[in-house]
Chains A and B, each alone.
Chain A
């Protein structure tokens, strides 16, 4: 995977990410985006991917796991997140979309050579018996 231009990939993400997102990464790394991009582009890309996973991918993974858990353990296939007395978000209807996002994230990290660092779990924590 040595032919990957990490700096170029970082910039590809930067086009899509908000200023807040970039600033959060800079705070965490303790250096400016430009400086890390120049000196340690691979480290910068890892930080970007970590935050993308945390803020964009993990919530969808959680939904997928909850869907499995509720179905397998309690026989419940329909569930929603209630955000007000008048608004329920029917999250169980978003399973297909969630799968698409999660799958494409892990395919991308694998193709970038970070398969070991960003491993998708197949273990299910509710299946262990006490």
Chain B
């Protein structure tokens, strides 16, 4: 290959080739951290003051399910007397229904509501949550998301649940899928407090749409 486009291909493949596969797999998790920043921005747009917390030697994004959440960084969202924590990878369980304990990618919870055993009561203290997938949407993914809602806050699945849960739970995707818009429209037509946002990737207008229209 010798022309300019061929040289450009070689340069790209060389730069990619120098990246070790395991590093790439780890960086794949960047979508969770990226989504946390977008979620914090959505709250800022609604007039909350956003403060990074717990970052003495740099911001540590918690990208794995175990561990004490207080060992990692998070954002505090404050407005008047309301103080919420926006965190990554926190366990939640509906203690009233004794549901399955689930690890959620992003949670928005009341301040200081994580229990001693690192669980948030989804009935009392989970304001909303988001699942983040750096991929295209597909039906099984949506079904999993709805199943998680069933376990934690099943009344979100009801018609007009937006009146009780004012911030929809979200499935956040970095790409689109054929069934996704149909399902999201169905949620909205029934006023369910659930949303699917796709194409959340650098440079895409959909990020603006998310931060402006999520809640």
Q: Which residues of A contact B (CB under 8 A)?
A: 1, 3-4, 9, 12-13, 16, 28, 54-56, 58-66, 69-70, 74, 76-85, 88-92, 94, 97, 100-101, 104-105, 107-108, 110-112, 119-121, 123, 125-126, 128, 130
Top 6 A-B pairs, shortest CB-CB distance? A121-B203, A78-B58, A111-B5, A61-B202, A62-B34, A79-B59
| B61, CB-defined interface residue at 8 Å | yes
**Are B5 and A112 in contact, with the CB atoms below 8 A?**
yes
| B175, CB-defined interface residue at 8 Å | yes
Distance in angstroms between the alpha carbons of A65 and B38 in the assembled complex: 11
Interface band, chain B = 35 or more
Can you sample 24 A-B contacts with CB below 8 Å?
Answer: A3-B3, A16-B16, A16-B17, A28-B136, A56-B16, A59-B24, A60-B30, A61-B201, A61-B203, A74-B59, A79-B58, A80-B58, A80-B59, A80-B60, A82-B61, A83-B63, A84-B66, A89-B27, A91-B30, A97-B19, A101-B15, A108-B12, A123-B203, A125-B41
**Are B47 and A130 in contact, with the CB atoms below 8 A?**
yes
From DSSP, what is the main secondary structure of chain A's interface residues?
A: helix
Least CB distance from A36 to B in Å reads: 18
**Are B29 and A83 in contact, with the CB atoms below 8 A?**
yes
Find the A residue at minimum CB distance from B18.
A97
**Are B207 and A125 in contact, with the CB atoms below 8 A?**
yes
| B211, CB-defined interface residue at 8 Å | yes
Q: In the complex, which residues of chain A have a beta carbon less than 8 angstroms from the beta carbon of B18?
A: 97
**Are B33 and A83 in contact, with the CB atoms below 8 A?**
no
**Are B9 and A81 in contact, with the CB atoms below 8 A?**
no
